[in-house]
Structure 1
Amino acid sequence: MKILHIYSGNLFGGIETLLVTLAKEQSLCMQMQHHFALCFEGRLAHELRSFGAKIHSLGKVRISHPWTMWQARLQLQQLLKQERFDLVICHSCWSQAIFGSVVRAKCIPLIFWCHDVPNGKHPLEQWAKKIPPNLVIANSLYTQAAVSNLYPQIDSKILLCPVACPDIGKDASIRQDVRAELNTPDDAIVLIQVSRLERWKGQSFLLSALGNLRDIPGWICWLVGGIQRSHEAEYLQELKIQAQQLGIEDRVLFLGQRTDVPRLLAAADIHCQPNTGGEPFGIAFVEALYAGLPVVTTTIGAGMEIVDDSCGRLVAPNDINALSDVLNFLILNPSERATLAAGGKPRAEYLCNPAQQLTRLYNLLSEVVEYEAVA
């Protein structure tokens, strides 16, 4: 089965991580041959190429410049004419709106992989609504519940993202090396958050909770995530000012965009991402569980589908005192951290084992191809 994935490619987050996983883990389901059509060069294209993925450039697209869309559509038309794809998957409303009609015109099965929580009101979502796919894949129950805002008449299936357990060698030596690089004491309790610099990801909420723990010795916080858009620069500056005002600026490290996240997780002790808005899935949670970290998040979004009492703790969104209490307890109780850490990897494997999830993806896509062949 020859599959074309269409995406923009100018940022890097959960969707991009999924696409890289599809390329990296190709051997786990050889029945699928993944190709990628991108509009922008960047980290995504670089990482896909590092795993030998076939990338097709559609050219830079700006909706404010309509001619760039026309040119990109022509590029896609040529690509679909030259190569025989069994189906095409669009990974955002942006991709669906701009390119879905081209795929439909070629009578190729079209899949919409829903990675966000649409309300159906954004102009791009209104545009994407006009191009119904053959199937919607939702990355969580939480996301699936919102699919009807786009496509109330289209069948949807849930497929949790395949996430592989990283093979990074001996945790003990990595822990020591990373902490030395970051000037973090070996005996410090490191809290880490790995996410994009979006306000709803809860970095500010985390800092507020840690401000309540300023008198508790021995903890350090690593915030991982770099500036990708202009509003993120403003938010980062606000976070730095907040840490200073709370008197914890010397205990919070802003590490920026990193490509060695598995190493950082292996050197940390607690993962905390206290979302104030719903997380559509949460690959970062799964990666932290593989690393053996207790995961602390909020009772909103798909984090509730990943984190349970076997591997982490859930607190109410925007309840700073509740979050402070949970973090304080975990900081001061190594035995509780160890118990939750032991449940992390089994939970991650159960939910997101790549071989299991890629086989499920193949089965879902095969049903579409077979149905369209006889329709």
Structure 2
Amino acid sequence: MAETSARRTALIAHPGAELYGSDRVMLETIAALVEREWRVVLAIPTDGPLVHEATALGAEVVVLPLPVVRKRALHPARLPGFIARSAVGARRVDRLLRSVQPHVLYASTLTVPLWSARARSTGVPVVVHIHESERQAPVLLRKALALPLRIADRIVVNSAFSLTSLTEVMPGLADRSTVVYNGVPGPGNVVEPRASVADGLRIVYVGRISPRKGVDVAIDALHLLTASGIPASLDLVGAVFPGYEWYEEQLREQIARLGLQDLVTFHGFRTDVWPVLTNSDVAVVPSRLDEPFGNTAVEAVLAGRPVVVSAIGGLAEAIDGFASAIPIPADDPAALAGALERVARSWSAFRRTALAMAPIAAQRYATETYRRRIVEHIDHVATGTRDLHRVQLTPEEA
């Protein structure tokens, strides 16, 4: 493959242009590569706030409309259309590969297999970074989603839970897979929590507004909490995925039915989460389905705030060892309300503990560690090294 300059080039394929968990981790990958003088070209299917952030880091951004694998796209009724769009998209990918001439393709998430397939067909080595875990999905669907990974030279997963979920259905991928925990940037400085919550516990949810994230569980918990005599309010920070507008409407109906209109506020998507975390007393991550990791839970710990988290999947792994994180059963409004009541009634203790946990989280999920590790894997694949299973994230660096 001809080189167009002395710098090595990484082509990153990403499925969207938002700024949620996997988007922010991908930006850390861009930063890591640019720091080491790689040329980075980012290909995304649509415009969005991610474009500005990626460009500011030094990446060249190409908006290339292509189909992205979603579970609904694999439905028998939709599959023929998805295949047809992929065939058209393959030609666009090939043109960009010829133009960019990358030394490596970095596929960010499982949902862009077309990029991996076309890159591999032209001799470009492939790194796939998995941010998903569909352990609760049917086995056949999990195998279908994992099958394209067989062509990857290296697979990076964001938690031991995600790795187990993957190798349960595709054991042969274990020897080319490695866990690298997300690097999660913290706030510029940690603002101490309020001395008292007597005027009402300020609860915040940050993340996608979707059924699997359990936002309705948080609303039910707020109702139970206030009914027990604990004054509280709930801020919802995030937006629905296109096609799920019905869920936000359902939440608003739930809020009206429970008489919580004055206690729940929809803030929409926010690029900067630190002001809303700083203004809160406690965060909630009430996911009802397995998550591969828990960026928002870690962000709450980094902000010096207690956080109540569903003890499932990668969420439990992400908050393990943090005394300010309270694990609860998933899909259980009473358990969530009970945990929030504990925080309110023992506020001084939780306040002190949350402040103490912030620097520990900053060390465990340091972006410097993530950047070093992810570039190690990309470097090794780009240079043809095959013994990457020996490059592991140590507990101290995790």
* TM-score interval, smaller chain: 0.7 to 0.9
Contact 1:192/1:221 (8 A) holds in 2: yes
The residue aligned with 2:265 is: 253
Secondary structure of the equivalent of 1:37? strand
| Alpha-carbon spacing, 1:158–1:337, altered in 2? closer, same or farther (3 Å) | same
- Counterparts of 1:41-80 in structure 2 under 5 Å? 41-61=47-67, 64=81, 68-80=85-97
Aligned with 1:242 (options 247, 254, 258)? 254
Distance 2:254 2:366 in 1: 39
Contact 1:110/1:134 (8 A) holds in 2: yes
Contact 2:30/2:40 (8 A) holds in 1: yes
**Aligned-residue offset at 1:71:** 4.2
**Aligned-residue offset at 1:339:** 2.5
Aligned with 1:324 (options 328, 337, 348)? 337
Aligned with 1:13 (options 14, 17, 20)? 20
**Aligned-residue offset at 1:225:** 1.3
The residue aligned with 2:132 is: 116
The residue aligned with 2:313 is: 301
Kindly indicate whether residue 155 of structure 2 is the aligned counterpart of residue 136 of structure 1.
Answer: yes
Deviations 1:142-196 (A, max 9, x none): 11111225643222100111111232x6848xx99xxxxxxxx995421101010
Deviations 1:86-135 (A, max 9, x none): 21111233311x22221111111111111111456339935853752111
For 2:333, give the aligned amino acid.
I
The residue aligned with 1:95 is: 112
- Counterparts of 1:26-45 in structure 2 under 5 Å? 29-30=35-36, 32-45=38-51
Contact 1:188/1:220 (8 A) holds in 2: yes
Deviations 1:20-45 (A, max 9, x none): 33345666x42554321112122222
| Alpha-carbon spacing, 1:134–1:293, altered in 2? closer, same or farther (3 Å) | same
| Alpha-carbon spacing, 1:331–1:58, altered in 2? closer, same or farther (3 Å) | same
Contact 1:194/1:224 (8 A) holds in 2: yes
The count of corresponding residues between Structure 1 and Structure 2 is 360
Which stretch of the first structure deviates more once superposed, 317-326 or 349-358?
317-326
Aligned with 2:347 (options 315, 318, 334)? 334
Aligned with 1:371 (options 384, 390, 398)? 384
**Aligned-residue offset at 1:292:** 0.9
Contact 1:20/1:47 (8 A) holds in 2: yes
- Structure 1 runs, 4 residues or longer, greater than 6 Å off: none
Contact 1:118/1:150 (8 A) holds in 2: no
For 2:60, give the aligned amino acid.
K
**Aligned-residue offset at 1:320:** 2.8
For 2:26, give the aligned amino acid.
L
Contact 1:132/1:151 (8 A) holds in 2: no
Distance 1:136 1:72 in 2: 24
Deviations 1:296-328 (A, max 9, x none): 101101111122342211011233322222101
Which stretch of the first structure deviates more once superposed, 261-270 or 144-153?
144-153
Which stretch of the first structure deviates more once superposed, 245-254 or 42-51?
42-51
Distance 1:267 1:134 in 2: 44
Distance 2:47 2:198 in 1: 39
Secondary structure of the equivalent of 2:313? coil
Distance 2:146 2:30 in 1: 29
Give the TM-score of the pair, scaled to structure 2.
0.81
The residue aligned with 1:106 is: 122
Contact 2:210/2:241 (8 A) holds in 1: no
Distance 2:325 2:48 in 1: 34
| Alpha-carbon spacing, 1:52–1:366, altered in 2? closer, same or farther (3 Å) | closer
Contact 2:27/2:53 (8 A) holds in 1: yes
For 2:324, give the aligned amino acid.
C
Contact 2:380/2:386 (8 A) holds in 1: no
Give the TM-score of the pair, scaled to structure 1.
0.86
For 1:362, give the aligned amino acid.
V
Contact 2:324/2:350 (8 A) holds in 1: no
**Aligned-residue offset at 1:11:** 4.8
Deviations 1:32-85 (A, max 9, x none): 543211121222223322433211233344772656434432332233223342
The residue aligned with 2:177 is: 156
Aligned with 2:100 (options 83, 95, 101)? 83
| Alpha-carbon spacing, 1:334–1:318, altered in 2? closer, same or farther (3 Å) | same
Query: What is the alpha-carbon root mean square deviation over aligned residues?
Result: 2.9
